[in-house]
Amino acid sequence: MKQFLKRLLSSQLAGFIGFLFIWQILHLLLKTHTIPSPLETLAYFVSVPLVLLKHTGASVLRVSAAVGISLVLGIPAGLLLGVNKTCKRLFSPLLYFIYPIPKIAFLPVFMLLFGLGNPSKIMLILFIIVFQIMLSMRDGVSQIDPVYFKVMDSFCVSQRQQYRYLIFPAVLPYLFSGLRISIGISLASLFFAENYATQFGIGYYILSAWTKMNYVEMFSGILALGFVGILLFYLLDRLERLCVPWQKQNARN
Amino acid sequence: MECCNAKQTHVKLDHVSFSFGDSVVIRDISIDLLRDSTYALIGKSGIGKSTLLNLIAGFLKPDLGGVTIDGKTVTGPRKETSFLFQELGLFPWQTVFQAISMPLKMRIGSKDHSAQVMSLLTELHLEPHKDKYPHQLSGGEKQRVALARTLICDPDLLLMDEPTSALDAMTKEELQTLILRQRQLRGATLLFVTHDIEEAVLLGQTILILSEDGTLTAQENPCFAIQNPREDISFYNECIRIRKLLRLEAS
């Protein structure tokens, strides 16, 4: 028994079981339909796997598209802000101005410009996360030790070589940090992006259950969203370990 | 000031002056550094030794006068000059092998240079560490990697900014022997900055003393050619002589 408890506490499952335990206590204490029992929710969750898969699949596709486009736009823009002092001086205040504004406020504009379909949903998520990517890149460049640039100068390198051997590898850890935050924010913003003109998406699923006051269904949707988060972060961690091996070893040391 | 006439002038500083704002760091320095010779540059901290090295490397431009290497005015870093930085500047994302092969890839662009890199790794006793990242190396190993990175392209001018600082006595001795052997093997002109008078007398054919007023004086080192200098009393006498000169310049 002691051995089992020790193994349980050291495993990654311990946190999740603890969360379910607190949830159960809240359910018992508050005695309201708004907080259903975790066991009931889990039972419902496993009873509708295809429905949840369909909704989460639609959401993952939207998030992936938004993250992909924000990387394509955010990486070069952020690098430019980091490398070019004039660009940094001109655009950093603008970035600071836009960054804290709740982007959901622009939803009517996106609807008007991109319609009610997927493009406006993807654009909303993109608009929320692209600034995070840009800032991560810009800060990554500014954190590069000036002596590294001097080393590159001493080798008489071209600008292309400077990016290839210095700037890209130096900003990679910052990109992964930015990406981790962006994925978290984009999953959270699904709730807004999928609350109109769609019948697919985990955000829509949660909202629809909420309006129907079906809290078991709502919480199973929340659970599904959480599991998507776990999966995406796990994949990102694996990718980071592959692309930034020196960082992990450094952290372990 | 001419050091000797047997060798050809490699680096020429012609009335070079440099200041940071109002503070004059280098004042009207003229000196010829001869090909295949070694020069130790000493002086008090913050006096401008590294600035002089940076002027020769082309990282800084003199306010007055000029630096020429092989008769050509230095306007920026040149491919044949290698610089060993005090901070080393080893990239955390490069293994030892990648760090040493990087200059070859960038300068020569040759595709397969692993044999050349491996040979240097063996020479510098770095072969067992070739797949390690900088944070996995000791101070002395890092210093040797940085040295290997400066040597790999066979430079004709080696500039080193405190190459053995922050090392323990034994590792320092090992690295000094290595620097001396590699310089002899490759026949490059070596100019290095040091705070250590023993190191200056051990490695420098000529010892350059930079004074607080920004001027430079050269001292021939009679102990340079002797075998096992650390076991010879004349080596320590020379260290005492240089120390006295340094004190005199400082006062």
Instruction: Kindly identify which residue of chain A lies nearest to residue B82, measuring between CA atoms.
Output: A154
pLDDT in tens, B4-30: 446 788 899 999 999 988 888 888 889
Counting residues of chain A whose pLDDT is more than 90, the rounded percentage is 66
**Bridge partners (DSSP) listed for residue B220:** B206
A220 occurs within a structural domain = yes
Per-residue pLDDT at B3: 45
Is the pLDDT at A186 greater than 80, yes or no?
yes
Distance from CA of A141 to the nearest CA of B (A): 14
* Domains of chain B (ranges, CATH numbers): 1-80+156-251 (3.40.50.300), 88-154 (no CATH)
**Length of chain B in terms of residues written:** 251
The stretch B122-128 carries a mean pLDDT of 87
Distance CA B2, CA B120 (A): 34
Is the pLDDT at A205 greater than 70, yes or no?
yes
Place of tokens 């994302």: B93
Is residue B107 less than 8 Å (CB to CB) from chain A?
Answer: yes
Q: Which of A62-66, B144-148, B210-214 has the lowest mean pLDDT?
A: B210-214
**Bridge partners (DSSP) listed for residue B11:** B33, B69
Per-residue pLDDT at B90: 94
CATH number at residue A123: 1.10.3720.10
Binary contact (B93, A157; C-beta < 8 A)? no
Per-residue pLDDT at A249: 59
Is the pLDDT at A90 greater than 50, yes or no?
yes
**What is the distance, to the nearest Å, from the Cα of residue B132 to the centroid of all Cα atoms in its chain?**
26
Q: Which of A39-53, A106-120, B135-149, B216-230 has the lowest mean pLDDT?
A: B216-230
Is residue A159 less than 8 Å (CB to CB) from chain B?
Answer: no
Segments forming the whole domain that contains residue A178: 49-246
The stretch B78-96 carries a mean pLDDT of 92
User: What residues of chain A lie within 8 A of the CB of B91, using their CB?
Assistant: 148, 151, 165-166, 169-170
Distance from CA of A243 to the nearest CA of B (A): 10
The encoded tokens of residue B167 equal 């090392």
CB count within 10 Å of CB B66 equals 15
A66 occurs within a structural domain = yes
Binary contact (B93, A150; C-beta < 8 A)? no
A34 occurs within a structural domain = no
Q: How many structural domains does chain A have?
A: 1
Label the pairing between strands B38-42 and B189-193.
Answer: parallel
Is the pLDDT at A166 greater than 90, yes or no?
yes
A215 occurs within a structural domain = yes
A125 occurs within a structural domain = yes
DSSP for B178-237 reads: HHHHHHHHHT-EEEEE-S-HHHHHHH-SEEEEE-TTS-EEEEE-TTTT-SSGGG-HHHHH
User: Nearest-CA neighbor of A132 among A167, A182, A73?
Assistant: A182
Best mean pLDDT range from A8-12, A43-47, A88-92 = A43-47
Q: Which of A107-121, A142-156, B108-122, B141-155 has the lowest mean pLDDT?
A: B108-122
SS (HEC) of chain A: CHHHHHHHHHCCHHHHHHHHHHHHHHHHHHCCCCCCCHHHHHHHHHHCHHHHHHHHHHHHHHHHHHHHHHHHHHHHHHHHHHHCHHHHHHHHHHHHHHCCCCHHHHHHHHHHHHCCCHHHHHHHHHHHHHHHHHHHHHHHHHCCCHHHHHHHHHCCCCHHHHHHHHHHHHHHHHHHHHHHHHHHHHHHHHHHHCCCCCCCCHHHHHHHHHHCCCHHHHHHHHHHHHHHHHHHHHHHHHHHHHHCHHHHHHHHC
Place of tokens 């047997």: B6
More confident position, B162 or A7: B162
Per-residue pLDDT at B1: 45
User: Nearest-CA neighbor of A152 among B162, B91, B147?
Assistant: B91
Average of per-residue pLDDT values in chain B: 86
Instruction: Kindly identify which residue of chain B lies nearest to residue A145, measuring between CA atoms.
Output: B89
Average of per-residue pLDDT values in chain A: 90
Instruction: Report whether B134 contacts B145 (CB < 8 A).
Output: yes
Q: Which helix (H) or strand (E) holds B147?
A: helix B139-151
A94 occurs within a structural domain = yes
Is the pLDDT at A214 greater than 90, yes or no?
yes
**Burial group, residue B139, by CB count within 10 angstroms (0-12, 13-18, 19+):** middle
Q: Which of A74-83, B117-126, B209-218, B223-232 has the lowest mean pLDDT?
A: B223-232
Distance from CA of B243 to the nearest CA of A (A): 31
Binary contact (A166, B91; C-beta < 8 A)? yes
Residue A139 banded pLDDT, cuts 50, 70, 90: very high
Contacts of residue B208, defined as CB under 8 A and 6 or more positions apart, other chains included, come to B31, B39, B40, B41, B42, B216, B217, B218, B219
Per-residue pLDDT at B129: 92
pLDDT in tens, A12-62: 778 888 888 999 999 999 988 899 999 999 999 999 999 999 999 999 999
Instruction: Report whether B106 contacts A219 (CB < 8 A).
Output: no
Binary contact (B133, A246; C-beta < 8 A)? yes
A200 occurs within a structural domain = yes
Is the pLDDT at B185 greater than 90, yes or no?
no
Distance CA B239, CA B217 (A): 16
**Chain A neighbours among B 54-93 (CB < 8 Å)?**
57, 59, 76-79, 81-83, 85, 87, 89, 91-93
Distance CA A100, CA A81 (A): 18
Distance from CA of A236 to the nearest CA of B (A): 19
Per-residue pLDDT at A134: 94
Q: What is the number of CB-based contacts under 8 A between chain A and chain B?
A: 63
Nearest residue, CB atoms, A148 vs list B83, B91, B103: B91
Per-residue pLDDT at A44: 94
User: Nearest-CA neighbor of B189 among B29, B31, B25, B16?
Assistant: B31
Is residue B103 less than 8 Å (CB to CB) from chain A?
Answer: yes
Binary contact (B102, A150; C-beta < 8 A)? no
The stretch A69-87 carries a mean pLDDT of 94
Residue B203 banded pLDDT, cuts 50, 70, 90: confident
Instruction: Report whether B17 contacts B27 (CB < 8 A).
Output: yes
A73 occurs within a structural domain = yes
Per-residue pLDDT at B6: 60
User: Nearest-CA neighbor of A189 among A107, A73, A70?
Assistant: A107
Is the pLDDT at A241 greater than 60, yes or no?
yes
Q: In degrees rounded to 5, what are phi and psi of residue B128?
A: -65, -15
Is the pLDDT at A251 greater than 80, yes or no?
no
Q: Residue B123, SS3?
A: helix
Instruction: Report whether B73 contacts B85 (CB < 8 A).
Output: no
